[in-house]
Amino acid sequence: MFESLSDGLQSAFKSLSGKGKLTESNMRDGLEIVQKSMLEADVSYSVVQDFMGHVSEKALGKRVLLSLRPHEELVRIVHDELISILGPVDSSLHLKSEGPTVIMLCGLQGSGKTTTCGKLSQLLKEQDIKPMLVAADLQRPAAIEQLHVIGRQLDIPVYSEADNKDPVKVCQNGVAKAKAEGARVVILDTAGRLAIDDELMAELAKIDKKVGPDQVYLVVDGMTGQDAVNSAGAFNDALELDGVVMTKLDGDARGGALLSVKHVTGVPIKFIGTGEHFDALEPFRPEGMASRILQMGDIVAAAREAHRIVDESEREELEAKMASGDFTLDDFKNMMEKVAKPGLMGKMMGLMPGMGQFKEMMDSEEAAGGIRQTIGAINSMTMEERRNPKIIDAHRRTRIAKGAGVQSPVITQLVKQFEMMKPLMQGMMGQGAGGRMKMMQQ
């Protein structure tokens, strides 16, 4: 999810990490890449301008430029700014204490309104609240039946009128019925169109005015990028929206749309849809979303963790070793022992520029087992072998494998892995040895 935005930001951070020490001018280069990546991810221009304004102001501050790890500071600034523009949080349905609360869902055809009716109903049912659905989508022939199917699946009443062509009347009658039956929530499933048109907007505005729903939510398809933003603008002009539900964020959705829709409508993102099933509706959390956009997991915590596990003097020593090419399998083992904790290696991967894609791989049980095996194998090597793994020939390999209780290809693999991990370890040591970071960026 949000691949393009996070890729762009990752490359921006990569370019910064390679610089070692930052100056105002190369921080500006980094900011430019951030800006470009946001535009590429379909964030609209005005949102990008606003966003960059805030981020630049903070990133070019003295504290950041003088900081030892300025790129981390920049990540934090971008992360915080994302949270700030995605917020505030409000996933409450604002149910009234008396009488039915009327929730109207609107959006383009195919955006996921009818499905969201089912998802919201499921959510309410989990709180022991039984809603009533009203089939007011009289445009799409199958919509009424689709809602009845959902009603049967969830065991909730659905109000519809076969021959009534007036959606306002259907909604009014539906709400009256809900009142009479003592339902606490009524959800109106309104009509959509393939594209915005005046007739649709007039119909929805009329329902809004005559039925007076308590909450009006716009349902937008997160996969439609810039189109979602344009339609959100039109709905927002015609109706008084109270919130947005963005669907289909389980696919290859582009994160930019969410930022822009929030900006255009100015109302809270209430929920995100992450699948076709009724339970695939999540209350919107800006923190989680910002982390997903950056695809860096909990970067702040991971950065803190990295600092915690490798203390300053140790870091300097290891940096010096790597700079002189003295980083041995023994050092590798020490590092492994430090990071071989559940979740930590993955966090580190997420933290390192360009390494986000290895995060899940490293978080698995299998990876933890692999690390334990690696430590065992290094323990079976002589000091000389640990210092210079190149001397490990077939004969030595068999001996080491036997000692560690593994097959000898595991040892071949380990030596290869060591060569591959070297630059990653450098990354963890910090950016002091700027030039060497280049290895990680290829």
Looking at beta carbons only, is 16 or 150 nearer to ligand GDP?
150
Residue 418 has which token pair? 């060591």
Taking the complex as a whole, the smallest distance from the CB of residue 218 to ligand GDP amounts, in Å, to 11
Q: Let me know: does 429 contact 338? Beta carbons within 8 Å.
A: no
Taking the complex as a whole, the smallest distance from the CB of residue 149 to ligand GDP amounts, in Å, to 11
* Strand-by-strand arrangement of the 131-136 sheet: 158-159, 131-136, 185-190, 101-106, 215-221, 243-247, 269-273, 281-283
Residue 274, annotated as binding a ligand: no
Looking at beta carbons only, is 111 or 374 nearer to ligand GDP?
111
Q: How far apart are CA 353 and CA 221, in angstroms?
A: 30
Residue 249, annotated as binding a ligand: yes
Taking the complex as a whole, the smallest distance from the CB of residue 275 to ligand GDP amounts, in Å, to 5
Taking the complex as a whole, the smallest distance from the CB of residue 109 to ligand GDP amounts, in Å, to 5
Looking at beta carbons only, is 27 or 228 nearer to ligand GDP?
228
Q: How far apart are CA 85 and CA 87, in angstroms?
A: 6
Q: How far apart are CA 16 and CA 340, in angstroms?
A: 28
Looking at beta carbons only, is 203 or 385 nearer to ligand GDP?
203
Q: Give the single-character DSSP code of 164.
A: -
Looking at beta carbons only, is 236 or 408 nearer to ligand GDP?
236
Taking the complex as a whole, the smallest distance from the CB of residue 42 to ligand GDP amounts, in Å, to 18
Residue 114, annotated as binding a ligand: yes
Among candidate residues 153, 159, 78, 68, the one with its CA nearest the CA of residue 119 = 153
Helix (H, G, I), strand (E, B) or coil at 298: coil
Taking the complex as a whole, the smallest distance from the CB of residue 363 to ligand GDP amounts, in Å, to 24
Among candidate residues 272, 263, 292, the one with its CA nearest the CA of residue 43 = 263
What's CA 426's distance to the chain center, in Å?
A: 27
| Residues near ligand GDP, by CB under 6 A | 107, 109-115, 192, 247-248, 250-251, 273-276, 280
Looking at beta carbons only, is 120 or 362 nearer to ligand GDP?
120
Q: Give the single-character DSSP code of 136.
A: E
Residue 107, annotated as binding a ligand: yes
Residue 192, annotated as binding a ligand: yes
Here the contacts of 193-197 (C-beta below 8 Å, separation 24 or greater) are 193/108, 193/109, 193/139, 194/108, 194/109, 194/110, 195/108, 195/231, 196/108, 196/230, 196/231, 196/234, 196/235
416's CB contacts (< 8 A; 6+ apart) are none
Q: Are strands 215-221 and 158-159 parallel, antiparallel or unpaired?
A: unpaired
**Tokens 């004969």 — which residue?**
395
Looking at beta carbons only, is 117 or 415 nearer to ligand GDP?
117
Taking the complex as a whole, the smallest distance from the CB of residue 288 to ligand GDP amounts, in Å, to 16
Residue 359, annotated as binding a ligand: no
Residue 62 has which token pair? 């003295």
Q: Give, for 257, the enclosing helix (H) or strand (E).
A: helix 256-265
Residue 110, annotated as binding a ligand: yes
- Residue nearest to ligand GDP according to CB distances in the complex: 273
Residue 111, annotated as binding a ligand: yes
Residue 191, annotated as binding a ligand: yes
Residue 190, annotated as binding a ligand: yes
Taking the complex as a whole, the smallest distance from the CB of residue 201 to ligand GDP amounts, in Å, to 16
Residue 105, annotated as binding a ligand: no
Taking the complex as a whole, the smallest distance from the CB of residue 140 to ligand GDP amounts, in Å, to 6
Looking at beta carbons only, is 147 or 425 nearer to ligand GDP?
147
Looking at beta carbons only, is 192 or 370 nearer to ligand GDP?
192
Q: Provide the H-helix boundaries in 111-255.
A: 113-126, 143-154, 167-181, 198-211, 226-238
Q: Binding-site residues, please?
A: 107-114, 189-193, 247-250
Q: Binding-site residues for GTP, please?
A: 107-114, 189-193, 247-250
